Amino acid sequence: MTITPPVFALFLKATALWMLILLAAIGNGVLRQQLLEPALGRTLALSLSGVLLSLIIFGLSWLLVPILGRVTNHSWYGVGLLWVALTLMFEYLFGYYLAGHSLQTIHGTLDLTDGNLFLLALLVAGASPRLAAGLHGLVD
């Protein structure tokens, strides 16, 4: 199976857009640690940060997907899947190799019982490109 140049270009651009979302997500994490956790406690701060991150992801998706142009429905779902995969790779690789977290600690980000809504943010990252493209009329 070969990847056609337009598809490669789409996923290259989508990766660049994801990097902007990543920067916003890092800023959200700093906000949570520096302001929200001291003021609200860990559980509430994690929940609020997860909702905020989800809104940031969708908002940036809505602003940025026009850069990708009009593509097929399947391609939009592919962009969402790419964003989820890149997010998980970043979370695990950065967390394990650079931050020194155990894999168990990183797995814990997907546990909803302690108030962490990172799983919600992943779902939003997966769905946002298609939803935003639909709102802009960019789905073939």
The 10s digit of each residue's pLDDT in 37-86 is 999 999 999 999 999 999 999 999 999 999 999 999 999 999 999 999 99
Count the domains in the chain.
1
Chain Cα centroid distance, residue 127: 10
Predicted confidence band of residue 127 (pLDDT cuts 50, 70, 90): very high
Structural domain containing residue 99:
5-136
5/123: higher pLDDT: 123
Task: Tell me the whole-structure pTM to 2 decimals.
Answer: 0.91
Q: What is the pLDDT of residue 93?
A: 94
CA-closest candidate to residue 21, choices 107, 138, 122, 113: 122
Beta bridge partners of 71: 139
Average of per-residue pLDDT across 121-128: 98
Tokens matching residue 21: 């979302």
